[in-house]
Amino acid sequence: MTPLLELEGLSIRLPTPDGLRAVVHDVDLSVEAGQIYGIAGESGSGKTMTMLSLLGLLPRGGVASGRATFDGRDVLAAGKQARRSLRGKDLSMVFQDPMTSLHPMLTVGRQLTEHARLHLGISKAEASRRAAAMLEEVRIPDGEAALRAYPHEFSGGMRQRIAIAIALMCEPQVLIADEPTTALDVTVQAGILQLLDRLRRERGMAVVLITHDLGVMSSIAERVSVMYAGRVIEHGDARDVLQRPGHPYTRGLLGALPQPGAGAGSELRAIPGVPASPLDPPPGCAFHPRCPLAIDACRTAVPPLIAGASEPRHAAACIVTMADIAPRASTGSEVTP
C-alpha cells in the first residue's frame, strides 16, 4: 500500500539564544490510510515538533529539512496557500493543550463551523447540523446548546473533546492527535479511542497518535515509533515493539507501565536519570548515560536503526541488544559531529 503520509530524513532546527539548533534528527515515518501510528517518548523528545513541521506551524524561525509528503505531495516545499488548504481538510491536528487551540472569545459553534464552511463549501445551516452531530460523537451532551457556549464554560476534559471535534469536522485523511486523552478520565478516554478507531475503520482515516502512555498505544496502534532526544530509536509493529522491545530505552518505558493485576496504588517505575535534551545530547547514543547495558562504543557513535533478524519491519538503534546483526547494519552508522 502506498503511504498517505511519508517522512524521510526529516530534521528540524529551532532558534535558540545560541543560534539555530537541531532538535529533531533524521526521522523516517510512513503512515498508511486507515492506520493508527503511535509515537511515544518522554517529554522533550521531539514528538510535537515533528508533527508541527508538517503543518508549517514550527515556532518562528524554525526550519525543517528532509522530505515529507502527503498523498505524494511535498509538504515542506508547499507554499503558504497550499499549506493552508492542506491543513484542516487533509491533515488535521488536535493540539496538546486544548486551551491554546480554542479561541476564548468565539463560541464553540463558530469554531466548529468556520473551517468546515471554508474547506467544504457547505451552508451555515449544514455546517451547524454537522457540528452538533460531531459534538454528539465526542459525547458532549446537548450539542445545540454547546454550539452557543464559550470554551470557558466547559471542563478541561470537555474542551479536549471539543478540540477533537473541531479537528474532525472536515473529515481529514490524517488526524494528528497530540496527547488527545491525557487530560481525560479513563471512561471518556476509552470513548475517544473507540471513536478514533471507528473513524479509521469506516472512513479509512489515518491517525498519528502521540502519547506518553504505552497502555493507550498498545490498545489501538498498529505501528509505533519511539523517540529519544530528537531521534527515532525504535520502530515496528506495535505488537513487536511492545512485546519484544529491542532498545533498552523502550524496555525502560515499558517497565514504567503498571503491572496488570497490581491494583491501584502500585508504583510506576520511571527510568532513572533525566531525559537527554535534543539541544545538547550526550555524544554517541544519547541514552547511554541512563543505560544499564552501555559499553564504550555507545559513547562514541550514534547507533543506526538495526532491523531484527526475524522481523525486518522492527528496528532498534542499539549496538548492544541488536549485536547479532550489528556488523552488517552498522556500516551506514553516523558519527556524532
Ligand X SMILES: Nc1ncnc2c1ncn2[C@@H]1O[C@H](COP(=O)(O)OP(=O)(O)OP(=O)(O)O)[C@@H](O)[C@H]1O
Residue numbers at the binding site for ligand X (CB under 6 A): 14, 16, 23, 41, 43-49, 59, 96, 277-279
Residue 130, binding choice from ligand X, Mg ion, none, Cβ under 5 to 8 Å by partner class: none
257 class by beta-carbon count within 10 Å (0-12 exposed, 13-18 middle, 19+ buried): middle
213 or 311, CB closer to ligand X? Answer: 213
Of the candidates 238, 215, 239, the one whose C-alpha atom is nearest the C-alpha of residue 225 is 238
* DSSP secondary structure code for residue 87 in this structure: B
How far apart are alpha carbons 312 and 301 in whole angstroms?
23
The helix (H) or strand (E) run that includes residue 13 is strand 5-16
- Residue at 258: amino acid letter: P
How far apart are alpha carbons 277 and 265 in whole angstroms?
31
Q: Which residue in the shown chain puts its C-beta closest to Mg ion?
A: 48
How far apart are alpha carbons 143 and 133 in whole angstroms?
7
49 or 146, CB closer to ligand X? Answer: 49
Task: Find the shortest distance in angstroms from Cβ 334 to ligand X.
Answer: 20
Task: Find the shortest distance in angstroms from Cβ 12 to ligand X.
Answer: 8
How far apart are alpha carbons 271 and 82 in whole angstroms?
43
48 or 189, CB closer to Mg ion? Answer: 48
Binders in 19-48 for Mg ion, by CB under 5 A: 48
Residue 331, binding choice from Mg ion, ligand X, none, Cβ under 5 to 8 Å by partner class: none
Report CA torsion sign: 120, 124, 129, 135. positive
Q: Which residues of 32-50 are buried (b: 16+ CB within 10 A; e: fewer)?
A: bbbbbbbbbbbebbbbbbb
Residue 25, binding choice from ligand X, Mg ion, none, Cβ under 5 to 8 Å by partner class: none
250 binds Mg ion (CB under 5 A): no
109 or 278, CB closer to ligand X? Answer: 278
167 or 170, CB closer to Mg ion? Answer: 167
Residue 100, binding choice from Mg ion, ligand X, none, Cβ under 5 to 8 Å by partner class: none
Task: Find the shortest distance in angstroms from Cβ 156 to ligand X.
Answer: 17
Note the residues at the interface with Mg ion (CB under 5 A).
48
